[in-house]
Amino acid sequence: MIEQDLRDKILATPEVILEDRDLMRALIAANERAMGENVIDLRGIAMERLEGRLDRLEDTHRSVIAAAYENLAGTNLIHRAILQMLDPLGFEDFLAGLDQVAQTLRVDSIRLVLESAQRDEDPALRRLGEVLFVAEPGFVADYLSGGRNVALRAVTLRPTLPGTPLFADTIRSEALMRLDFGRGRLPGMLAMGSQEPGHFKPTQGTDLLAFFAGVFERTMRRWLA
């Protein structure tokens, strides 16, 4: 028999039992045992199916919320990086500030690739630091395609290529943003690298990086004008 104090509590607040899944499962199981093995409780089966659907909906709900928070955090990082990128008043300061932009975006390396037919003859370019990588014409397309005949995308996320000239051996994944500097100018590329192999993956969304690249290339057009 149920003790009187416990019985009184249950009668006073029965919703406590209704909201407890483990207790409800135990009560349903006891009811099924009381009915015997030859009786099929269709209501109990329907409840089990509804519980399964509810669990799946809750998992989906949590996944959607987690993705929304992650997207919001990524948006905030991109906005902060853009503001830092717009602060410098000179091109050399702009390039020097890319290291801080990399820290804001939580990447381990960042390189700006510019194609130039006279890359070995321009001492001004060599003076701008390691963040700048000057390459021969056609380098951007070859690097993005990996030597294959494929359509080039605005943003490419992938593991780093073996022997890449852009990053150190410790960099395991990269985000590559193709830059258009306007009519009559050679293309460029902004490359971000991470030591984590899964930091940049082809299955990830690229909308935020595409927006960042769009702001970056418009800023570069001002310096190249």
What is the distance, to the nearest Å, from the Cα of residue 15 to the centroid of all Cα atoms in its chain?
42
26 found inside a domain: no
In a domain, 111, yes or no: yes
The reply to whether 140 falls in a domain is yes
- 144 in Cβ contact with 165 (< 8 Å): no
Maximum distance among all alpha carbons in the chain? 96
Residues 119-156 have pLDDT tens digits of: 555 555 555 567 888 888 989 999 988 767 777 788 99
Measured in residues, the chain has a length of 225
Q: How far apart are CA 212 and CA 190, in angstroms?
A: 10
Q: What is the pLDDT of residues 107-117, one digit of tens each?
A: 999 999 988 87
How many domains are contained in the chain? Answer: 1
Q: Residue 146's domain spans which residues?
A: 90-224
Q: What is the pTM of this model?
A: 0.66
Question: Is residue 21 situated within a structural domain?
Answer: no
**CATH number of the domain residue 166 falls in:** 3.30.450.40
DSSP H helices in the chain: 4-12, 15-18, 21-35, 42-86, 91-96, 98-104, 123-126, 139-145, 207-224
3-58: per-residue pLDDT in tens? 888 778 877 887 787 777 777 777 777 766 666 666 556 666 676 777 777 777 77
